[in-house]
Amino acid sequence: MLQRLSLGMLLLCAFSAAAVCEWPGWQQYKQFYISPQGRVIDPSSPNKITTSEGQSYGLFFALVANDRPTFDRLLAWTENNLAAGDLSARLPAWLWGESDDKQWKVLDANSASDADLWIAYNLLEAGRLWKSRRYQTLGTLLLQRIGREEVADIPGLGLMLLPGKVGFVAEDRWRLNPSYLPPQLLARFAALNGPWRAMRQVNQRLWLDSAPHGFSPDWVVWRVGTGWQPDTVKPNVGSYDAIRVYLWAGMLADDDEHKAALLARFQPMAQLTAKQGVPPEKTDTARGKTT
C-alpha cells in the first residue's frame, strides 16, 4: 500500500509545474521541524533532540512529496551524524542532541530497528522511483545489516525483529515492540534476500496473540517454554507506541492476506474510538480496560 501511495503521489507531482508536490502539510512540517541542514528536531525536548525515527519519517514524507533536495539533506545529515558517515557500515544511532556538557552529539548509540527499516524502505523506493543506483545500493546494504544485527531466531517463535541491536535479550527472554514492524515493509522486503518473508507469519502471530482483548501493548516479552508474558517495564500497557499498530493495520492494502484477521482482532479499539470520538490514551491490554 505504501508503494502505491508513494508512486501515486509522485505521479501527481509529475504533472505539476513545480518539482516538489504542492502539499501544504509537508511545507509546514519542513518549516517547523526540519533544520536547513536536514535535521528533524523535536522542539518539545529541552535539548532539542533528534531521533532516527524522526529522520526516517522525514525521509518518507520527502519521498511522497517528490522533494528530492530535502530527501538528500535528510539522508546526508542522518548518515553523517547518526551513522558516523556511512549507513552501509553501521546502523544509525537512535538519539542525538545537546549533552549535559553542551556538546551536540550522539546521546545514545544504540539503534532503533523501526527507524532503520523505514530508512531502508525509503532508500529502496527512492532508488526505484527516482532511478538512483546509489539509493538502491545503500538501502540494500542497510537492510542486510538490519537482518544480521537486529533480527533474532527466537526459540518457539521464529525469526523476529528486535527493537534494537542491544538490550532486548536476557537469558530466556526477548522483549519485543509490536509497533516496530509494519506489515507493509515486510511485504516490500519479502522478495529480497534475508529473513523478511519468514517473518511475516511470526509478526502476524505477535500482533494477534499479544492483543487478546483487541488492544495492542506497547511492549511484550516472549519467554522460552512459557510464551507471551507481560513486559517487565510497562506490563500490559498500550499507549503511544501501540497506536501505530492500528495505523499500520488500517493502512494495509485490502487484498493483503493478513488484513481481515487484524481488523477483526482490533475491532474493540475501532469501536471504542468511534464511540468516544478519540482513541483512548492508555489501555490495559490484559483486561481490555481503557483510560
Catalytic residue among 67, 114, 125, 150: 114
Residue 179 burial (10 A CB sphere; 0-12, 13-18, 19+): buried
Please give the grid coordinates belonging to residue 130.
Answer: 527516482
Q: Are 49 and 84 contacting, i.e. CB atoms less than 8 angstroms apart?
A: no
Residue closest to 71 by CA, chosen among 43, 45, 34 = 34
**Is 171 noted as a catalytic residue in this protein?**
no
Which H/E stretch holds residue 110? Answer: none
Residue 62: strand, helix, or coil: helix
**Is residue 72 among the annotated active site residues?**
no
Give me the DSSP letters along 82-93: HSTT-TTTSPPP
Give the CA dihedral 226, 228, 232, 238, nearest 10 degrees: -170
Residue 226 CA to residue 277 CA, distance in Å, equals: 38
Q: How far apart are CA 78 and CA 84, in angstroms?
A: 9
E strands present in the chain: 50-51, 95-98, 104-108, 151-154, 158-161, 169-170, 173-176, 220-223, 227-230, 237-238, 283-284, 289-290
Main-chain phi, psi angles of 244, to 5 degrees:
-70, -25
- Positions marked catalytic: 53, 114
